[in-house]
Amino acid sequence: MAEPFDYDVPLPPPSVPGSVAWMWMMNTALDLAKLSLVLINALVFMIIVYITQRQKTGENVDKIVKKSDDQNKKRRVGFVIAHPDDEAMFFTPLIQSLSSQPYIELFLICLSTGNFDGLGKVRTKELAKSCHVLSISDSPNSILEITSVQQVAPSKVTIVENDKLQDGMKNKWDETLILEFVEAFVKANDIESIITFDPHGISSHPNHINVHNGVKKFIQKNRNISAWQLITTSLPRKYIGVFDILLCPVLDQNNLIFFSPNPVVSYRAMEAHYSQFVWFRKLFVFFSKYAYTNTLNKIQ
């Protein structure tokens, strides 16, 4: 005869509070270990991408301006920006990549003094300092201040204070006047290649967009000069910071990619703009992809 079923199965011992805490700690430690592994893998991958891409910098620079056969002749590249600090906020990976080439000389024209808060004079001096930090100019005080196209002269750094080009979201800039300033700047400094904003102006600032349109008008008139635009990315990508290094080779296969050789220089250039260096700009330098990567394509 079968044994009667024993309904009196002993229950498991009640859990001990100490063992629950131990299990929780073990699980958390395991989760942290998994997360660390993922982060280490991402970091190693990022370093490999960075090294591979940095090796292509020479090729990409060569597309902007070709190395001269004449050792003594430096090739001249000019930046056209709207406000003092645009160079530090957006263009530093490219500026550093170009300025590290011994055969390239850089020039910059800023089409306003950024006088929105009445700080035009202060911001002019700050731009001179920032351009020195970025190795565009040899002196932290060297800047040509002009008000009209007729005053454009040879200078590494030029700043314009003109009634038709006043800093402000509501101020529409005269694009024909921009063309004239760019034309005079290129001629005075014997520039071969220029770099500016794309049609979206990175931050959609109307002054940036006017600068792009003015440069485009100039290029349509002067086909012997090549012009390149800094590509505006989507908003989430804009604040992805250093991780954009991983996205560039996937999303920018047809564009020129430049990685910053030293992101600390971006911070130091922005620091030179002392009157503008408020907390959110400090965060911007840290989290913005433009402190680590620049991607460009040609203005047609």
Site string for Zn ion, 37-76 (x = CB under 5 A): ----------------------------------------
CA 32 and chain centroid, separation: 33
- The yes or no reply on residue 88 touching Zn ion (CB under 5 A) is no
Q: Minimum Å distance from CB 82 to Zn ion?
A: 5
Q: Give buried/exposed letters for 257-286 (b at 16+ CB in 10 A, else e).
A: bbbbeebebbbbbbbbbeebbeeebeebbe
- The yes or no reply on residue 83 touching Zn ion (CB under 5 A) is yes
Identify whether the C-beta of residue 106 lies closer than 8 Å to the C-beta of residue 156.
Answer: yes
- The yes or no reply on residue 132 touching Zn ion (CB under 5 A) is no
Of the candidate spans 28-36, 66-74, 78-86, 179-187, the one that interacts with Zn ion by CB under 5 A turns out to be 78-86
- Of the candidate residues 64, 75, 77, 86, the single one contacting Zn ion (CB under 5 A): 86
What's the rounded Cα separation, in Å, for the pair 218 and 180? 8
In 186-267, where do the E strands start and end?
Answer: 193-197, 226-230, 256-259
* Closer to Zn ion by Cβ: residue 83 or 212: 83
The one-letter amino acid code at 68 reads: S
Count of chain residues binding Zn ion (CB under 5 A): 3
What's the rounded Cα separation, in Å, for the pair 251 and 268? 29
- The yes or no reply on residue 82 touching Zn ion (CB under 5 A) is yes
- The yes or no reply on residue 182 touching Zn ion (CB under 5 A) is no
Of the candidate spans 43-51, 82-90, 248-256, 291-299, the one that interacts with Zn ion by CB under 5 A turns out to be 82-90
Q: Which residues bind Zn ion (CB under 5 A)?
A: 82-83, 86
